[in-house]
Amino acid sequence: MFSRSAGFSLGCQTNAWPVDPQNFDSLLAVLQKVRELGFAGFETGFRNLQSQAEHLDEARKKIESAGLQFFGVHIFLQQYDGETHVAPADLYQRVAQIGAALGAQRLILSGAPALTDTALANKAAALDKAGAFAKGLGLQLAYHNHDKEFGNSAWEIRGLLRRTDPELTHFLLDAGHAFRGGADIPAFLEENHRRIVGLHLRDFRHGQQVPLGSGDFPLADVAVTLRKIGWQGWVLAEEEREDGSKPGETATRPAFEALKRYFG
């Protein structure tokens, strides 16, 4: 079974499938599918784990029985803290504690755009604070971007890279969002790969998301660049859809085949 080659580990976000946050078995069923497809690890949203806060030992055993590495637990919100532009501290601390108990390797934070120097400074400071908390639990903090961080010549993402502590704040580059935001993905990777612990890969054609490898995303160029710079990390297929649909294996199976073709 394909899982790792030349320093790459292949993972999958569970949001390609419908998961009922109140039914932990629905997540476990998805993990089984992820494993059967050939992926080595998974990432999932924090809401899928909250129901297990009182059953952590049992839940961890069930997760481990899937035979996958738990890349990270992701906090994505519709509204973030107005000052820090990321999740409130009480939420990410609670999620980090649950994630660590369940075997997660990382706490992943998305955030709202920081549009001014003051907002950027506040966001960077908040990420380092979250990173220190996560590190105390044995987790690595990774910031996950969307397309807006790459607007205005990537002003925000470059500012976060510059203002955060490399020992506390790492980056999960959503290369699909960055590509749609106008980034030269191979060039950005070459410049910043030391701060990047994982990639979300997604593909687009005519502005619509399609299974990875079937659109305009420069997947081959990304693979060549990563080999050239000797990067080692996680490459994760993310086959969610902005309309809320859940394509499941109809998208993740060709995505895995594309990853195997270019990264195997």
- Which whole-number Å values give the CA distances from 103 to 19, 69, 107, 250, in the listed order? 19, 8, 11, 29
Torsional class of 148: left (φ above 0), alpha (ψ -120 to 50), beta (otherwise): alpha
What's the farthest any 2 CA atoms get from each other in the chain? 48
DSSP 195-212: GEEEEEE-EEETTEEE-T
Model confidence pLDDT, tens digit, residues 203-242: 999 989 999 999 999 999 999 999 999 999 999 999 999 8
Torsional class of 234: left (φ above 0), alpha (ψ -120 to 50), beta (otherwise): beta
Q: Which residues pair with 236 in a beta bridge?
A: 11, 200
Q: How far apart are CA 54 and CA 20, in angstroms?
A: 18
Model confidence pLDDT, tens digit, residues 69-106: 999 999 999 999 999 999 999 999 999 999 999 999 99
Model confidence pLDDT, tens digit, residues 146-174: 999 999 999 999 999 999 999 999 999 99
Confidence class of residue 6 from pLDDT cuts 50, 70 and 90? low
pLDDT value, residue 62: 98
- CB-based contact 239:13 (threshold 8 Å): yes
Domain residue spans of the chain: 4-263
CATH class (in words) of the domain with range 4-263 = alpha beta
255's CB contacts (< 8 A; 6+ apart) are: 12, 201, 211, 212, 213, 237, 239
Model confidence pLDDT, tens digit, residues 171-182: 999 999 999 999
For the chain, the first-to-last Cα distance in angstroms comes to: 11
